[in-house]
Chain A
Amino acid sequence: MKNIAKNLVRFCTQKPKVVYIILVVLALLFTAQIPRIKIDTDPENMLDAEHPARLFHNVVKTRFAMHDSIVVGVVDTSTENGIFTPSSLTDIYDITQSILSIEGVISADLMSISTVDNISQSESGTIRFEWMMDKPPSTLDESATIRGHLARLPLLQDTLVSQNGKAAAIYVPIKDKNQSYKIAEQIRQNISKLNGNADWYITGLPVAEDQFGVEMFIQMGISAPLAGLTIFILLFFFFRNIPLIIAPMIVAMATVMITMGALIGMGYTVHIMSSMIAIFLMPIAVVDSVHILSEFSDRHKPGAELNETIEEVVGHLFTPMLYTSITSSVGFYSLMLTPIPPVQIFGGFVGTGILLAFLITITFMPSYLSRMNNASLEKLQLVMHSQKGGSRIAKIAKFLGGFALKFKTSLVLSFAVVFAISVWGITQIEINDNPVRWFKKDHEIRVADKVLNENFAGTYDAYVVLSSSNSLLSLDDLLAKDKPTSLASWAAEQVTQLSGQPLSEQYQQLLINIDDKLFSDVSDIQASYLNTTLQNAESALSQSKAFQSPELLAYVESLQDYLKASGLVGKSNSLADVAKVVNRELRSGEQKDYVLPNSPQAVAQTLLQYQSSHRPNDLWHFVTPDYQETLIWLQMTSGDNQDMSSVIALVDEFISQQPLPQNIQLRWAGKAYLNVVWQDNMVAGMLESLIGAFVIVFIMMVLLFRSVVFGVLAMLPLTITITFIYGLIGIIGKDYDMPIAVLSALTLGLSVDFAIHFLERAREVFKQTNDIKQTFDLMFDEPATAITRNALVIAFGFTPLLFAPLVPYITVGIFLASIMAISALVTLLILPAVMTMGKRIVFK
């Protein structure tokens, strides 16, 4: 290994230009891919496209025409009439009209006071379907009438208008969610032309996602360069030599460009995770160079042969750098064990990027250093050696060493106590996430989300889908009964002709075909068979319409009541509600008739009336046309996964009390539900990747040091650090969310670096000195200084994330910076303490 390194370094110092050219070509080649960038902000992509929950969710969306929607909210608290004034209702009417003409809006499904129907009794005994508001009212009385109508329609109250009358909502379904930002902008423009007292808000998942994409670009455009700048300043502070520190910056830039270019060039979209690749790679990529620079500036003496020093330095650092690079990449690669595609891609590319950074470092750094001119080198010497007693960093490192050795027993005891408390803290961790909270509290989207959820039953959706297994006989079996041979070929023709369609549609068409056949010249026997089959088919078809049955609707109703009583669900809407409203209006119009019709036929006839409105297709949001599947739409005021999980538990509880009717299955869909699914996956997946990474890194340590004891020592600081950080999260009550989960495995790979460098050098020094005290004295000289420098580079390198506009980036920044700082500190404190205490085992 060392020989390969030696030859490589020799080649690079002798042919630096070749190395430069290769690097430049690669960088240009990959950077050229970057303009093809495609942003992906859909939280759904946290699940694999083929994940059963996601597939089902999309089937449900299509089947029940539940489109992605922009939600426009309007709140007027300036008068006690709220939005029910001629001026606010006129604004709502006008805005609705303007939205209807925006390209990309599914106008048929848009819900607003002015696009929905009212079902009412006009005079007694008369049912009336009419537009809720076909033109804006001109008086307060007319406005109050509209309010009264809405209050009678449970499907609209609390969804389209708030109970207190202060707020109204417009649900704008859109064809393509990638258009949502554009559509939202047009709506904003129209709103800005109004001059009423009301406040308007725009939210909805598609808008949030699009907005997220915009801010992700900002993040990448600002944070990554800022990280570069921060690192540059730090390096300058350490080395005071611009030509020298340009080298690590080139390594970092080349690594980031090639990695991002490869990601984009390979056709991967840039998701929230992958948008952080640049900022992760930047600090990690400079670390090896910092080691080389540190040692080079220490060892290079004026007049010495430059290339020899370089060879010596790189040869010396080759193995620890290789191992730290591999362990870091193992930490990231372990993310590929999670079942979450964006996390896998992130892990894969950062892992590879780290190995690439290693390669670039050991080729480019020697080439670069070998071409440095004497003036620069002399200046470097001047700076490095003029710092009497070493630089400030060196002083800190030295102090730490003294401290660690002086208080070793207390240190070890304190760490043991902290560790124990941390383990308890981990058991207190609350797992929770909510993509809307990825925005900062004062973000427009968060504000709108808050206001709308205060006023309405909730903007977070989940769907409970009940399906009945199809009870229809196959056409072949249906036709087989008592079939006269003279109709055998006719029957066979039916089966062939109708095959491929859903069974219930085959039955409908068969009815028509039998009618036609009866109309032709048929014998008595044939007619009797055809008539019997016709009746059989008709009654089977009726029976297959499971959700016309009052019993099943009553089950749906009691599930809804159960959810309502819990207070966890703002409101639920179902086919049962539709049937009850229409039944009420068909009968007295009074509350006593707000009940389910009492037979399947009565349900069917009631629903036929519901379809005689301006919006007949609204029925199909709640049931499929074959009546074999029904959807209960739950509206919740919180999108927190924890709250969604409680609702799921509640439904499970209901089912255990009132078992599902025979042949009925219950499944979940909806964005709020999907979030729970991917989060569960992530928690389980992260544990797996953490354990995986831990085991692999441990084995590597044992192999590297050829010693189990050193393997254990190497794992010690990071174990304490990670336990501490996650214990802290549990204790302070910070939700364990996506960014926090992702951090666990990868920090393991990063923080072990410090231990590797420390142990490797300690063992080497001990070999030379054979004296423990002397070993640590030397260790807290240059090696500890290098470790401290690196810890600072990485920790500060991540701090620009604190200025990011989106919360997950900030979380990542804070935690990575603290983990790096703490693990360096723990390494420098605990390792000397433990090694000294256990010297008999350690230094055999």
Chain B
Amino acid sequence: MLKKILNVFTLSLPLLIGAPLIGAPLIGAPLIGAPLIGAQLIAVPLIAATLIAAPFHAMSADLSSVDVASIVKNAEKAAYYSGNDGRSDARMMIVDAQDRKQMRQFTILRRDIEDNGDQQMMVFFSRPADVKDTVFRVEKHVDLTVEDDRWLYLPALDLVKRISSGDKRTSFVGSHFFYEDVSGRAISEDSFELQQETDVAYILKATPKAPDTVEFAHYVVTIDKKTKLPILINFFKADNTNYRRVEAVKIEEIQGFPTVVRSKVSDLESGAYTLMEFRNISFDLGLGDDVFSERSLRNPPREWLN
């Protein structure tokens, strides 16, 4: 099945929908997932995070100087910008506080306009069967003054609808990922400071520049030195309770890009969580403009979907 390449997606899924999952900022954010491969979506961080996905090679160089800005930027790239484009099949298992499970399955296609810059994404749902062919289309803009453009296609209602973003920290289709986790939270939205450096990772604390727009007071992201990927993000409330966690559970190297292929977001207060798994990840597929066009909503590019 899907074996296609993944790359793509890795990235960012973000937005996909809208909401970036995690939201995590920069780096951070990408949760984990981002990495390469496919999974990105997950990656929570997305956007920003992108970093993650990005090849690490780039980064390795600057690390020694502990240039926080570039760590963050590289992480964003690694998490969300692997290759120029990519695809991935994602499976999501949403597990609620009562351990009840719901599955979602979709394919993500992503194309970068430029690294650490604007991106285009498409998310095509295949399961559950009742929502099959539901599509999200996202044009992500890193300029904070420009809202992302998001569209939605609901086949059973025969309806294409534009989504006004409001904010991006809403649930991604009922999961514990936020839209922002999927699309990536722009690294420019937070201020980062290095909390700790270990042999293998940088631990950064990120504080939102506009605290009114997010539900967290700060988050702490662990960025793996080797892959540049954010591999753990803990979100804290003002009273310092750690209420949410995004983690990269499994990272693989795909086409040279370290990619998060399995990630997890946990609601630490209720014990609920969502697992996301990416398969059939490939990058640098040469996805064309038409794949990301409005027309694709009703006429999905089947060749890239399975």
Give the interface of A toward B (CB within 8 A).
62-63, 65, 101, 107-108, 117, 122-123, 125-131, 134-135, 501-502, 505, 508-509, 511-512, 515, 518-519, 538-539, 541-542, 545, 548, 583, 586-587, 597, 599-606, 608-609, 611-617, 619-620, 624-626
Residues of chain B within 8 A of A130, CB atoms compared: 166-167
Is B157 a contact of A602 with CB atoms below 8 Å? yes
Q: Does B152 contact A (CB under 8 A)?
A: yes
Task: State A511–B103 Cα separation when bound (angstroms).
Answer: 10
Residues of chain B within 8 A of A122, CB atoms compared: 164
Which of A108, A117, A134, A601 is close to B130, meaning CB atoms less than 8 Å apart?
A601
Is A625 a contact of B100 with CB atoms below 8 Å? yes
CB distance from A2 to the nearest CB of B (A): 68
Is B129 a contact of A542 with CB atoms below 8 Å? yes
Q: In chain A, what residue has the closest Cβ to B158?
A: A602
Residues of chain A within 8 A of B169, CB atoms compared: 614
Residues of chain B within 8 A of A108, CB atoms compared: 267, 269-270
Is A625 a contact of B159 with CB atoms below 8 Å? no
Which of A583, A597, A604, A606 is close to B128, meaning CB atoms less than 8 Å apart?
A604
Task: State A590–B212 Cα separation when bound (angstroms).
Answer: 32
Is B164 a contact of A123 with CB atoms below 8 Å? yes
Extra 16 A-B pairs, beta carbons < 8 Å, given A129-B163, A605-B154: A108-B267, A539-B129, A586-B157, A587-B159, A601-B130, A601-B132, A602-B154, A602-B157, A604-B130, A605-B134, A605-B155, A609-B154, A612-B19, A612-B173, A613-B170, A614-B170
Task: State A756–B41 Cα separation when bound (angstroms).
Answer: 86
Residues of chain A within 8 A of B189, CB atoms compared: none
* Contacts of B84-109 to chain A: CB distance below 8 A: 91, 96-98, 100-103
Q: Does B146 contact A (CB under 8 A)?
A: no
CB distance from A121 to the nearest CB of B (A): 9
Known: A129-B170, A597-B156, A597-B157. A624 touches B100 (CB 8 A): yes
Residues of chain B within 8 A of A604, CB atoms compared: 128, 130-131, 156
Residues of chain A within 8 A of B174, CB atoms compared: 608, 611-612, 616, 619
Is B170 a contact of A125 with CB atoms below 8 Å? no
Residues of chain B within 8 A of A509, CB atoms compared: 101, 103
Task: State A232–B128 Cα separation when bound (angstroms).
Answer: 77
Q: Does B250 contact A (CB under 8 A)?
A: no
Known: A542-B128, A612-B170. A126 touches B163 (CB 8 A): yes
Residues of chain A within 8 A of B175, CB atoms compared: 616
Q: Does B290 contact A (CB under 8 A)?
A: no
Task: State A254–B136 Cα separation when bound (angstroms).
Answer: 77
* Contacts of B16-70 to chain A: CB distance below 8 A: 17-19
Is B162 a contact of A601 with CB atoms below 8 Å? no
Residues of chain A within 8 A of B129, CB atoms compared: 538-539, 541-542
Q: In chain A, what residue has the closest Cβ to B166?
A: A130
Q: Does B114 contact A (CB under 8 A)?
A: no
Determine the interface band of chain B, counting residues with CB < 8 A from chain A.
35 or more
Residues of chain A within 8 A of B18, CB atoms compared: 612
CB distance from A623 to the nearest CB of B (A): 12
Which of A502, A605, A613 is close to B156, meaning CB atoms less than 8 Å apart?
A605
* Contacts of B132-185 to chain A: CB distance below 8 A: 132, 134, 152, 154-157, 159, 161-167, 169-175, 179
Give the interface of B toward A (CB within 8 A).
1-3, 17-19, 91, 96-98, 100-103, 127-132, 134, 152, 154-157, 159, 161-167, 169-175, 179, 212-213, 237-239, 267, 269-270, 279
Is A611 a contact of B173 with CB atoms below 8 Å? yes
CB distance from A732 to the nearest CB of B (A): 50
CB distance from A603 to the nearest CB of B (A): 8
Is B103 a contact of A127 with CB atoms below 8 Å? no
Which of A134, A508, A599 is close to B212, meaning CB atoms less than 8 Å apart?
A134
Task: State A127–B175 Cα separation when bound (angstroms).
Answer: 20
Is A125 a contact of B130 with CB atoms below 8 Å? no
Residues of chain A within 8 A of B97, CB atoms compared: 65
Residues of chain A within 8 A of B162, CB atoms compared: 125-127
Is A126 a contact of B269 with CB atoms below 8 Å? no
Is A620 a contact of B155 with CB atoms below 8 Å? no
CB distance from A819 to the nearest CB of B (A): 51
Residues of chain A within 8 A of B157, CB atoms compared: 583, 586-587, 597, 602, 605-606
Known: A612-B170, A625-B96. A601 touches B156 (CB 8 A): yes
Task: State A617–B102 Cα separation when bound (angstroms).
Answer: 13
CB distance from A647 to the nearest CB of B (A): 29
Task: State A476–B212 Cα separation when bound (angstroms).
Answer: 53
CB distance from B23 to the nearest CB of A (A): 12
Is B130 a contact of A545 with CB atoms below 8 Å? yes
Q: In chain A, what residue has the closest Cβ to B215?
A: A614
Residues of chain A within 8 A of B179, CB atoms compared: 612
Is B131 a contact of A128 with CB atoms below 8 Å? no
Residues of chain B within 8 A of A620, CB atoms compared: 96
Q: In chain A, what residue has the closest Cβ to B163?
A: A127
Is B171 a contact of A613 with CB atoms below 8 Å? yes
CB distance from B104 to the nearest CB of A (A): 9
Q: In chain B, what residue has the closest Cβ to A135?
A: B212
Residues of chain B within 8 A of A583, CB atoms compared: 157
Is A508 a contact of B103 with CB atoms below 8 Å? yes
* Sample of 8 A–B contacts (CB below 8 Å): A126-B163, A128-B163, A134-B213, A587-B159, A601-B130, A611-B174, A612-B172, A617-B96
Residues of chain B within 8 A of A135, CB atoms compared: 212
Task: State A108–B171 Cα separation when bound (angstroms).
Answer: 13
Which of B91, B161, B173, B269 is close to A512, meaning CB atoms less than 8 Å apart?
B91
Known: A134-B212, A135-B212, A597-B156. A605 touches B130 (CB 8 A): yes
Task: State A154–B239 Cα separation when bound (angstroms).
Answer: 35
Q: In chain A, what residue has the closest Cβ to B159?
A: A586
Residues of chain B within 8 A of A625, CB atoms compared: 96, 100-102
Is A129 a contact of B161 with CB atoms below 8 Å? no
Is A126 a contact of B164 with CB atoms below 8 Å? yes
Is A601 a contact of B131 with CB atoms below 8 Å? yes
CB distance from A745 to the nearest CB of B (A): 43
Q: In chain B, what residue has the closest Cβ to A507?
A: B103
Is A515 a contact of B1 with CB atoms below 8 Å? yes
Residues of chain B within 8 A of A125, CB atoms compared: 161-162
CB distance from A479 to the nearest CB of B (A): 18
- Pick from A129, A587, A604, A605 the residue with the most CB of B within 10 Å: A605
Is A609 a contact of B171 with CB atoms below 8 Å? no
Q: In chain B, what residue has the closest Cβ to A505?
A: B101
Q: In chain A, what residue has the closest Cβ to B3?
A: A519
Is B171 a contact of A612 with CB atoms below 8 Å? yes
Known: A122-B164, A135-B212, A539-B129. A505 touches B100 (CB 8 A): yes
Known: A101-B239, A597-B156, A601-B156. A608 touches B167 (CB 8 A): no
Task: State A612–B1 Cα separation when bound (angstroms).
Answer: 28
Task: State A650–B35 Cα separation when bound (angstroms).
Answer: 58
Task: State A606–B127 Cα separation when bound (angstroms).
Answer: 15
Is B131 a contact of A608 with CB atoms below 8 Å? yes
Q: In chain B, what residue has the closest Cβ to A516?
A: B279
Residues of chain B within 8 A of A545, CB atoms compared: 130
Is A608 a contact of B239 with CB atoms below 8 Å? no
Is B103 a contact of A512 with CB atoms below 8 Å? yes
Is B212 a contact of A616 with CB atoms below 8 Å? no
Residues of chain B within 8 A of A599, CB atoms compared: 156
Task: State A65–B97 Cα separation when bound (angstroms).
Answer: 10
Which of B127, B171, B270 is close to A614, meaning CB atoms less than 8 Å apart?
B171
CB distance from B154 to the nearest CB of A (A): 4
Task: State A508–B91 Cα separation when bound (angstroms).
Answer: 11
Residues of chain A within 8 A of B101, CB atoms compared: 501, 505, 508-509, 625
Task: State A241–B100 Cα separation when bound (angstroms).
Answer: 73
Task: State A695–B119 Cα separation when bound (angstroms).
Answer: 86
CB distance from A561 to the nearest CB of B (A): 24
Q: In chain A, what residue has the closest Cβ to B167?
A: A130
Q: In chain A, what residue has the closest Cβ to B175?
A: A616
Is A126 a contact of B161 with CB atoms below 8 Å? yes
Residues of chain B within 8 A of A107, CB atoms compared: 269
Is A511 a contact of B155 with CB atoms below 8 Å? no
Give the 3 A-B residue pairs with the shortest CB-CB distance, closest first. Answer: A611-B174, A604-B130, A130-B166
Task: State A108–B131 Cα separation when bound (angstroms).
Answer: 26
CB distance from B273 to the nearest CB of A (A): 13
